[in-house]
Homo-oligomer: A and B are copies of this chain.
Amino acid sequence: MNIRFYNAKILLTKNTDKGHAFEIIQGELWVKGNRIVYIGDGRDLDHVYEAPFFDEKQPIVWEREIDAGGNVLMPGFKNAHTHSAMTFLRSYADDLPLQEWLHKQVFPREAKLMPQDIYHLCKLAILEYLTSGITANFDMYLRPVEIAEASADCGFRTVQTSGLNNFTSSLELMEEDYYRVNEISELTGFLLGFHAEYTTDRKIMEGVAELSHKLKSPVWLHTSETKGEVEECKKRYGMTPTQLTESMGMYEYGGGGYHCIYFEDRDFEIFKKRNLFAVTNPSSNLKLASGIAPINRFLKEGISVAIGTDGPASNNCLDMFREMFLVSGLAKVTEGDAAVVPAEEVLYMATAAGAHAMNLPECDCLAKGKLADLIMIDLNQPNMQPENDFVKNIVYSGSKSNVALTMVNGRILYEKGKFFIGTKPEEIYARANEIIGRMK
């Protein structure tokens, strides 16, 4: 589709001496196929075909021209850690001690999932991502092929890593998934990874490290999510999960960790040296009573932080607005300083840093030549008024209700409360209820 947005405020991403910043310009943003081809004041419309920013020397035929009504166009949010298909367990087993939740509620029901269930349950998550302005997710779950197919069929962008552990998948299967998922669609990618140290034997972890050298892939894992996990790893190996995996040569091609709560000085050093990403999941960490990640320290060390919702069985919602507020608010209260982890850094985490973590450098910001993964934020709502500061407003006051439009890869998948993903939401809801109904 060729789509022209006019009368828009466009959020541009900047680097400054003091950190990340954003600038808003008034004007137009043009999408041709799946790319942004122009951002500017749009005054030279008569000459567009000669402008240097077009591949072909012919005027663009607009399929849609959208009056943004003074609203903001900004890069879509990147959900840098999730387990999408766990939608079936949303609000199914809350307010339980962690081990009871995991062993009595989650695992027995996951074991009953059929491959096609995962396909449909991912679509439910994608609907919710779209309502929250999320344009790509970084998934880890059973059945990577079905996950990728769900995403591709919706027109949504999904990068995956493996949930490999002693009980699920294998090194051989992961390598197969790597080739297959990376080829299913331009919208789907796969990076190496495994579930976590505490679920995965040394031999498998060593195999992951070896495979990462062969495939030149980053490696991802749940790491240092709970105090007990780190203590047990140190008992087993005399090292934290980060030190252990580093000692195995896991990070030759980068990667990172999900959660990253209980870090020692040496762990920070490794993350810095290897340019690893710390993905934080604050809602899940609160609700499972895991802890609060040291975000201010990560920023001070120059380590990139991205943000994820984690899965809907723990969170329970897939909402980047909640996560953004928490990243800043929890850092402020734990540091006892209202000035740390400002809104601009949080918005950078939720957009650009997430894209970089997920190996999606072409989706990190709005600029000519980038992929058209963007959202429109409705300012004509009370929580966005007065218009004192858009970035503070979006991080501290924003909500799903402000997301007027979500575009992935140049296609509008969500607009004014309606979905355009090729399946009716009601069918997806019915499937999800049927799946969990079967397990009760």
Which of B312, B383, B389 is close to A317, meaning CB atoms less than 8 Å apart? B383
Interface segment, one of A149-157, A200-208, A338-346? A338-346
**B396 contacts A124, CB within 8 Å?**
no
**B316 contacts A396, CB within 8 Å?**
yes
**A426 contacts B286, CB within 8 Å?**
no
Given contacts A290-B333, A389-B92, contact A382 B97 (CB under 8 A): no
Closest approach, in angstroms, between the C-beta of A432 and any C-beta of chain B? 4
In the assembly, what is the distance between CA of A163 and CA of B63, in Å? 57
**B380 contacts A429, CB within 8 Å?**
yes
Chain B residues closer than 8 Å to A396, beta-carbon distance: 91, 94, 287, 315-317
Chain B residues closer than 8 Å to A319, beta-carbon distance: 383, 399
Which of B326, B382, B387, B425 is close to A124, meaning CB atoms less than 8 Å apart? B382
In the assembly, what is the distance between CA of A240 and CA of B317, in Å? 39
Say yes or no: is A253 at the interface (Cβ < 8 Å to chain B).
no
Say yes or no: is A330 at the interface (Cβ < 8 Å to chain B).
yes
Which of B97, B329, B397 is close to A312, meaning CB atoms less than 8 Å apart? B397
Proximity string of chain A (400-432) to chain B, C-beta cutoff 8 Å, 1 when within and 0 when not: 110000000000000000000000011011001
Tell me the count of chain A residues lying within 8 A, CB to CB, of chain B.
Answer: 73
Say yes or no: is A199 at the interface (Cβ < 8 Å to chain B).
no
**B397 contacts A316, CB within 8 Å?**
yes
**A392 contacts B286, CB within 8 Å?**
no
**A-side binding surface: helix, strand, loop or mixed?**
helix
Proximity string of chain A (73-96) to chain B, C-beta cutoff 8 Å, 1 when within and 0 when not: 000000000000001111110111
**A343 contacts B380, CB within 8 Å?**
no
Residues A280-333 near B (CB distance < 8 A):
283, 285-292, 312, 315-319, 322, 325-326, 328-330, 332-333
Which of B90, B286, B337 is close to A329, meaning CB atoms less than 8 Å apart? B286
Closest approach, in angstroms, between the C-beta of A70 and any C-beta of chain B? 11
Chain B residues closer than 8 Å to A436, beta-carbon distance: 386, 388
Chain B residues closer than 8 Å to A432, beta-carbon distance: 385-386
Closest approach, in angstroms, between the C-beta of A45 and any C-beta of chain B? 29
Chain B residues closer than 8 Å to A287, beta-carbon distance: 328-329, 332, 338, 396
Which of B97, B328, B386, B389 is close to A337, meaning CB atoms less than 8 Å apart? B97
**A292 contacts B333, CB within 8 Å?**
yes
Chain B residues closer than 8 Å to A326, beta-carbon distance: 286
Residues A321-379 near B (CB distance < 8 A):
322, 325-326, 328-330, 332-333, 335-340, 342-343
Closest chain B residue to A126, Cβ basis: B382
Closest approach, in angstroms, between the C-beta of A163 and any C-beta of chain B? 22
Chain B residues closer than 8 Å to A380, beta-carbon distance: 425-426, 429
Say yes or no: is A168 at the interface (Cβ < 8 Å to chain B).
no
Q: In the complex, which of the residues A95, A330, A400, A429 has the most CB atoms of chain B within 10 Å of its own CB atom?
A: A95
In the assembly, what is the distance between CA of A97 and CA of B339, in Å? 5
Closest approach, in angstroms, between the C-beta of A337 and any C-beta of chain B? 6
**A392 contacts B316, CB within 8 Å?**
yes
Say yes or no: is A381 at the interface (Cβ < 8 Å to chain B).
yes
Closest approach, in angstroms, between the C-beta of A114 and any C-beta of chain B? 16
Say yes or no: is A145 at the interface (Cβ < 8 Å to chain B).
no
Q: In the complex, which of the residues A285, A322, A396 has the most CB atoms of chain B within 10 Å of its own CB atom?
A: A396
In the assembly, what is the distance between CA of A333 and CA of B342, in Å? 23
Q: Contacts A94-B396, A128-B383, A318-B383 known; list 16 others, CB within 8 Å.
A: A87-B385, A91-B397, A124-B382, A127-B382, A286-B329, A289-B332, A289-B336, A291-B333, A316-B397, A317-B383, A322-B322, A322-B325, A380-B425, A385-B429, A385-B433, A387-B433
> Can you name 22 A-B pairs with beta carbons within 8 Å?
A90-B386, A91-B393, A94-B342, A95-B338, A95-B342, A97-B339, A127-B382, A131-B381, A287-B329, A289-B335, A289-B336, A289-B337, A291-B333, A292-B333, A316-B392, A319-B383, A380-B425, A386-B429, A386-B432, A386-B436, A399-B401, A400-B400
